[in-house]
Structure 1
């Protein structure tokens, strides 16, 4: 309701030309309906559920979507890591987690991998002993768990306390400094898909360098995270569309956003495809010695 009201205020009261945000898929879906009726273009930062832009003329996003991310995770696990047996642990209350797990399973099987267990939990759960015990008995090489960081960190801790030796992997929602704070040592070796920006990345493009330097100048005490980078990317995509539209007109900007192709951004070369989703590489992160290490990018198969 709050998301819908916020968009209503921006479109009717403030009469904005365009909107940047939001980060969450459920918020984007609520606000998106209002923006669509008001015919105001919106570009979301990290709302990865496919439904966000489905059937929408005015909603866009600067991030990849869950099928793309799930397929990239499966490709990395099967091809790069060479793991032939995986299991999935899914938060059934979260559209995000359900979507990601489904796409991971589909892609992993298609590549030739075997799903040895498919277990569930609900947001807010604190005890994962039953799931961990069953997962340990199934002996997967890796467990894919696209959780939010709070539950994800607890899952890591309980897995290690019970002596689990399988690798753990999550999605972009684990990308939070609190993951390591809550999980501590248990985060060691954890991997996740992520948006393709990190302060530690080796081959930073010029746009990412410019963003990082500007951030450091303005916020010397805080490291930039990828959501900040995506916000900045949305701003750049919008400015580029406005320049190409040549006028501050909602319809012209909407058309220009739809026509965005090969734009250099801090998260790589960005193209808005026919479904209004961004096509960018998928980053892979790993936690090593209590630090997030950016391993590189993967393109899903």
Structure 2
């Protein structure tokens, strides 16, 4: 790029906030990177925000969807960007889908109490769902790494919800969906992009996942030629179809490359300015423009699980 070779330096944050902080410090102070891609989750990205701002090195999270990643107390985090849409948009899309497409009026919400991501999606879901005439009949919480959710699900079942909103990550979600079905809770269950992993089907079983839906950033089943080209190339290299995290990671790299090219410089501050000025950039997960809060304005899609396969349901524009 601009006559210089791009070098990738990898650090493993082990999905822990403290490791994410240490990793960012190492990359900036020892490796002298001009930008950082990652972390994948909101919690671990939030652990790196101060370091990015203090050291004036841009950081882009491919999939950290919490609002607070880019804006804290009404102030934009100057050096922090993302490639994904934000939690309020996912929660709003899910609530509108529940009300307008599934025609439900009574919902239960089950969150991961330790996850900023889970709490953020739940808050926007509840706001939009109740504003649209829906009623939240049960609210329950679990903690990441829990494995037995039967007592919680039994309480939810006693409230007779027509729909369950479950904004969590696939490890726990898979077990929750499986146990919900075993308890006879056969209502539609919906979550966000945190469900998106081939492991979800392994954990939950394909039958349990019938009548479940997710909001997501992209679908390998989308007929768009740019997406199909990416899917084909990814399959040829890795022998599997790319999930949304793969697509977002790919887009994040090209979001950064485009900004470096336009900056015409390896100066992190100039790269940051260039990232902020991104407009109508065509990528795999959509064409996006960066708004004043460093979030991309782009569409979301809804996928339905049928016999263990994700099926493209509909696309929702911002």
Could you say whether these structures have the same fold, taking a TM-score greater than 0.5 normalized by the shorter chain as the test?
A: yes
Size of the alignment, in residue pairs?
296
Q: Does 1:258 align with 2:276?
A: yes
The 5 A counterparts of 1:65-80 are: 65-80=86-101
Per-residue CA shift, 1:214-237, capped at 9, x if unaligned? 212322x22212111111111111
Runs of 4+ in 1 over 3 A off after TM superposition: none
Q: Does 1:52 align with 2:69?
A: yes
Separation in structure 2 between the aligned mates of residue 121 and residue 248 of structure 1, nearest angstrom: 44
The 5 A counterparts of 1:122-201 are: 122-184=143-205, 185-195=207-217, 197-201=218-222
Of structures 1 and 2, the one scoring higher in RCO (CA 8 A, sep 6+) is: 1
Change (3 A) 1:216 1:126: closer
- Residue aligning to 1:240: 258
- Residue aligning to 1:212: 231
Give the CA deviation at 1:21: 1.5
Q: Secondary structure at the match of 1:187?
A: coil
Per-residue CA shift, 1:65-120, capped at 9, x if unaligned? 11111111111111222212211111212221111111100111112211111122
Aligned match of 2:113 in 67, 92, 113?
92
Separation in structure 1 between the aligned mates of residue 287 and residue 225 of structure 2, nearest angstrom: 10
- Residue aligning to 1:3: 20
8 A Cα contact 2:220 2:228, kept in partner: no
Give the CA deviation at 1:244: 1.9
Per-residue CA shift, 1:23-51, capped at 9, x if unaligned? 11121111222121110111110011111
- Residue aligning to 1:231: 249
- Calculate the TM-score normalised by the size of structure 1: 0.93
Per-residue CA shift, 1:167-192, capped at 9, x if unaligned? 11111111111111111121122111
- Residue aligning to 2:8: none
The 5 A counterparts of 1:110-121 are: 110-121=131-142
- Calculate the TM-score normalised by the size of structure 2: 0.88
Give the CA deviation at 1:205: 4.4
Q: Does 1:274 align with 2:292?
A: yes
- Residue aligning to 1:21: 38
Q: Secondary structure at the match of 1:88?
A: strand
CA RMSD of aligned residues (A): 1.6
